[in-house]
Amino acid sequence: MSCHRPDRSEAAAAALETSEPQARSRPVVALAGNPNVGKSTLFNALTGGNQQVGNWPGKTVTRKSGLFRSPADGWSCDIVDLPGTYSLDPVSPEEEVARDALVGGNLDAVIAVADSTHLERTLYLVLQLRELQHTPAHRPFALVVALTMLDLAKQQGVHLDVQELARRLQLPVVPVDWTARSLSRLMQVVRDQLKLMARMAPRSITRSEAGRATTRDGDEAKPGNAGREEDPLVVAGRRYAEIERILAAVVRRRDGRTFTDRLDEYLLHPWFGYLFLGMVLAGFFWLTFAASSPLVDLLDRAIGRFGTVAGELLTELGTPAAAIEFVRDGVIGGVGAVLAFFPLMAIFFFLFAFLQDSGYLARAAFLLDRWMQRLGFHGRVFFVLLSGYGCNVPGVLAARILDNADDRRAAILLEPLIPCAARLGVMAFMVAAFFPPATATAVLLGLLVLDGVLVAVAAYFLRRRVLSGRQTPFLLELPDYHWPSLRTLLLGTWHEVRHFLQKAGGIILVATAGFWLASHLPWGVPIDETLAGWLGRGLALFLGWLGLDWRMSAGLLSGAIAKETALSTLAVALASQAGPGAAGLGDAGLPALLAAAYTPAQALSFLTIFMLYFPCLATARVMQQELGDRRWFAGGVAGSLALSLVVAGAVHAVASRLW
Amino acid sequence: MIGRPIPPAREGGLQERRLSDLLPGEQARVVGIGGGMNLRRRLADVGFIPGVQVEVVRVLAGGRLIEVAVRGTRFGLRWQEARQVRVE
Ligand SMILES: Nc1nc2c(ncn2[C@@H]2O[C@H](COP(=O)(O)OP(=O)(O)O)[C@@H](O)[C@H]2O)c(=O)[nH]1
Ligand SMILES: [Mg+2]
């Protein structure tokens, strides 16, 4: 797709931090446009792999910037991929970011990306940008229109007169067909505009063009500010009237039902649509978990092998046994705990991006809104919560698709209540140890249903009572279906996974190694005499009324770091007390040990707490980051902790009667 | 937002129609938009302005969800939002 070979300069992102445009070495060019018009595809094509992904300052909105370097003469500029927006009057954090960047006056050029199959709507932002360009008070910037989706327009029998469009818009318009030639042509036009702008004094630009462009009243000032006084229907009406005039001369279309129309007959069908949605969701989870588990196993074995080899090497070097064990089980084990996220996250984000880019995610949200609006949520929230069933981390990150700040906060706070795959594994194992198979299935299902009800109740409570801020108008674009480009999907997936590993990897590693030390020091004593043993004993003082002993408490402590370790910690604690003979016994003997040590009521009480009490460290880390505010995080954790204790108390009371 | 009085339409009649009243496949022309400033601006930005032709493509969930085509783009709306769009 791209022919240039940009060198890896880390300065690209730094350049954007400079607020003074004059102080920058390279011009900054932003990509602006409606959602789904091809901005990110263009961004990837222009910047290649040379991208920085981070957050906009103070916002949980992803910021992507990259370096473009001309293959011909090495001219370079920084490119920013702005979030999609319909207008310069924002209704969501994403749109706010786009507006602030565009109105802020820090850009040298803007490439307005317009979808040629939806020109009527996508030109609206172009007109707003043109008004902004001609606002006398605003710092001048170059504006170039890039037309995408030309292949689709052709398929739909739409004929476009690009030259006429440029003439009527009084803006340069470049068709982009994703060949290297059209991309370099686009950037050449941007360069020409920048040069032109530099030659003209800022004043003269505004004088000569402003009158013609802003229709009639010159006092239209800044869109997004002064527009507020005027009726939005009138302002928008004026812009659409101009668009209609322009398009009448530019577009000749053959009307007919498009591919999207025909597909939606089925995919949004009153019952087949829901059936298909069910299949998509099932397939989504099956692929995320079933397909990632062999990869996780493989990684697990590789790490285990690596640990063994490293241990042998250290032995030969004469390292003390305690240190070897620490390196092998604590440190290398911690690396394994971090890497275990990799396959799952990669597959999850790939599929998620596929659903989003293909246009289906919007339909799913529309279909699901049927139930979510009753809870006071947007339909997309359902998808976000569901994403947490695999692993809460992607669930929390998926909340970024929510426009409404309150929806987003509530969804993130609900996420730890959703039992992830690691928790489900522990729960299934424990339940099977205490009940015969048929009962075990029913008990596990019962726990999950209980959890589902709690999530719904908590959701209702949160959104109606705590985060009861205004609802964003529900207006969900159902974009045309697209076959997503593999390159965009892979790049996006890679950024998400890398971002997660950077943010959470270190803390997981340190905590895993730290807990290993806590459960082994002082060296040589049985686990109940170690630091972790004492901590467990302390915690058991508070949890005794729920039937939990110190071993279960120690399990909960390690589960707060990584859920799946709760069981192994419990197993070690049980085995050390069962005497030396039981020490080496693996999973095979564990159910018997468990059943001998606890009553079913105790087990259920433990599992209820375990299901609800605390997000694992990785989840906690991303929750903190995505919420942006410590108070929300602290409140959410306190809430789920309290909930887990109350519910476990009830479960313990009921279960003690039954069994 | 829902309980806010809706400014009278030009004809002012009681039997004025709303976008939410249209049947699947039915087309109409927008004559006005009620509701809060936020909703009006958002709808206007995507092209719901007096005079524009709209079509209800399909209705789901017993009328609570409505898919509308305007200017060649489809949008999913809730009944509450669609009710604010006056049509003829
Ligand atoms: N057929 C076709 N698909 C395109 C074109 N440009 C982008 N797409 C696809 O449209 C979808 C949305 O593009 P994306 O770049 O994510 O849009 P953004 O939301 O503006 O960043 C993706 O699946 C792209 O692969 C194009 O010119 N032709
Ligand atoms: Mg994008």
Is residue A641 pLDDT above 70, yes or no?
A: yes
Decide whether any atom of ligand 1 lies within 6 Å of the A484 Cβ: yes
Instruction: List the domain range (segments joined by +) for residue B80.
Output: 18-87
Q: Which two tokens stand for residue B15?
A: 């039997």
B8 touches A at CB < 8 Å? no
Is residue A194 pLDDT above 70, yes or no?
A: yes
Give the span between the Cα atoms of B60 and A365, in whole angstroms. Answer: 13
Task: Indicate which of A233, A363, A368 best probes the interface with B, i.e. most B CBs within 10 Å of its own CB.
Answer: A233
> Is B60 in contact with A273 (Cβ distance < 8 A)?
yes
Cβ(A4)–Cβ(A49) below 8 Å: no
pLDDT category at A368 given cuts 50, 70, 90 is: very high
Segment A425-476, tens digit of pLDDT: 889 888 988 998 888 889 999 999 999 999 999 998 888 877 776 677 889 9
Percentage of residues in chain A with pLDDT exceeding 90? 39
Q: Which region, left, alpha or beta, applies to residue A468 given φ > 0 means left and ψ of -120 to 50 means alpha? A: alpha
- Give the residue-averaged pLDDT of A503-532: 82
Chain A 360-419, residues with CB within 8 Å of chain B CB atoms: 362, 365-367, 369-370, 373
- B28 domain residue, yes or no: yes
Ligand 1 pocket: which of A34, A41, A151, A182 to mutate (most atoms within 8 A of CB): A41
Q: Which two tokens stand for residue A397?
A: 């990150």
- B3 domain residue, yes or no: no
The amino acid at residue A376 is: G
> Is A233 in contact with B33 (Cβ distance < 8 A)?
yes
Is residue A179 pLDDT above 50, yes or no?
A: yes
- B10 domain residue, yes or no: no
> Is A120 in contact with B72 (Cβ distance < 8 A)?
yes
> Is A477 in contact with B61 (Cβ distance < 8 A)?
no
Segment A24-45, tens digit of pLDDT: 689 999 999 999 899 989 999 9
> Is A366 in contact with B65 (Cβ distance < 8 A)?
yes
The number of domains in chain B is 1
Contacts for A650 with CB less than 8 Å, ≥ 6 apart: none
Helix axes A600-612, A437-461, angle to 10 degrees: 40
Radius of gyration of chain A (CA): 29
Decide whether any atom of ligand 1 lies within 6 Å of the A149 Cβ: yes
Give the span between the Cα atoms of A429 and A432, in whole angstroms. Answer: 5
Q: Which two tokens stand for residue A18?
A: 């400079």
Is residue A149 pLDDT above 90, yes or no?
A: yes
- What pLDDT sits at residue A259? 87
A272 touches B at CB < 8 Å? no
Whose CA is closest to atom 24 on ligand 1? A484
Decide whether any atom of ligand 1 lies within 6 Å of the A512 Cβ: no
Q: Biggest alpha carbon distance in chain B?
A: 32
> Is B47 in contact with A240 (Cβ distance < 8 A)?
yes
- B11 domain residue, yes or no: no
Segment A597-618, tens digit of pLDDT: 999 999 999 999 999 999 998 8
Cβ(B87)–Cβ(B18) below 8 Å: yes
Decide whether any atom of ligand 1 lies within 6 Å of the A41 Cβ: yes
> Is B41 in contact with A232 (Cβ distance < 8 A)?
yes
Decide whether any atom of ligand 1 lies within 6 Å of the A488 Cβ: yes
Which span out of A55-64, A89-98, A408-417 was modeled with the highest average pLDDT? A408-417
Chain A 59-118, residues with CB within 8 Å of chain B CB atoms: 86-87, 89, 91, 117-118
- Give the residue-averaged pLDDT of A566-594: 69
- B6 domain residue, yes or no: no
Is residue B11 pLDDT above 70, yes or no?
A: no
Judged by DSSP in three states, A483 sits in coil
Phi and psi at B61, nearest 5°, equal 50, 45
- From B34's Cα to the closest Cα of chain A, the distance in A is 10
Low-confidence winner among A175-179, A279-283, A501-505, B63-67 (lowest mean pLDDT): A501-505
Nearest by CB: B45 against A89, A370, A478: A89
Kind of pairing between the strands at A28-32 and A109-115:
parallel
Contacts for A469 with CB less than 8 Å, ≥ 6 apart: A404, A405, A406
pTM of the shown model: 0.81
Residue-range domains of chain A with CATH: 8-209+228-256 (3.40.50.300), 505-615+643-658 (no CATH)
- What pLDDT sits at residue A229? 64
10 Å CB burial of residue B40 (0-12, 13-18, 19+) is: buried
Q: What is the CATH number of the domain that holds B47?
A: 2.30.30.90
Q: Measured between alpha carbons, how far is residue A172 from residues A83, A112, A162, A168 in Å?
A: 23, 10, 10, 10
Contacts for B39 with CB less than 8 Å, ≥ 6 apart: A473, B1, B33, B81, B84
- What pLDDT sits at residue A146? 98
Provide ipTM, 2 decimals.
Answer: 0.86
Nearest by CB: A475 against B58, B64, B75: B75
Ion ligand 2: residues, Cβ under 5 Å: A 40
Is residue A147 pLDDT above 50, yes or no?
A: yes
Residue in this structure with the two tokens 């409570």, named with its chain if needed? A461
- B83 domain residue, yes or no: yes
Give the span between the Cα atoms of A108 and A105, in whole angstroms. Answer: 8
How many Cβ pairs within 8 Å bridge chains A and B? Answer: 113
Segment A50-77, tens digit of pLDDT: 777 766 766 667 788 999 999 889 999 9
> Is B44 in contact with A235 (Cβ distance < 8 A)?
yes
B46 touches A at CB < 8 Å? yes
The amino acid at residue B10 is: R
Segment A241-265, tens digit of pLDDT: 999 999 988 887 666 678 899 999 9
Segment A219-241, tens digit of pLDDT: 444 444 444 467 888 999 999 99
A233 touches B at CB < 8 Å? yes
Phi and psi at A611, nearest 5°, equal -70, -30
State which H helix or E strand residue A297 sits in.
Answer: helix A292-316
Strand spans (E) along A116-192: 142-148, 158-160, 173-175
- B5 domain residue, yes or no: no
Decide whether any atom of ligand 1 lies within 6 Å of the A175 Cβ: no
How far does the centroid of ligand 2 lie from the alpha carbon of residue A35, in Å?
7
Percentage of residues in chain A with pLDDT exceeding 70? 88
Decide whether any atom of ligand 1 lies within 6 Å of the A34 Cβ: no
- What pLDDT sits at residue A9? 36
∠ CA(B31), CA(B32), CA(B35), 5° rounding? 155
Query: Shortest CA distance to A566 belongs to which of A581, A583, A548?
Result: A548
Q: Measured between alpha carbons, how far is residue A41 from residues A37, A174, A402, A475, B13 in Å?
A: 9, 16, 22, 24, 50
Neighbours of A544 (CB within 10 A): 12
Burial A225-262 (b: 16+ CB within 10 A, else e): eebeeeebbebbbbbbebbeebbeebbeeeeeebebee
* Nearest bound ligand to the CA of residue A111: 1
Whose CA is closest to atom 27 on ligand 1? A149
Is residue A273 pLDDT above 60, yes or no?
A: yes
Give the span between the Cα atoms of B68 and B81, in whole angstroms. Answer: 11
* Nearest bound ligand to the CA of residue A360: 1
- B38 domain residue, yes or no: yes
Cβ(A88)–Cβ(A223) below 8 Å: yes
- What pLDDT sits at residue A517? 87
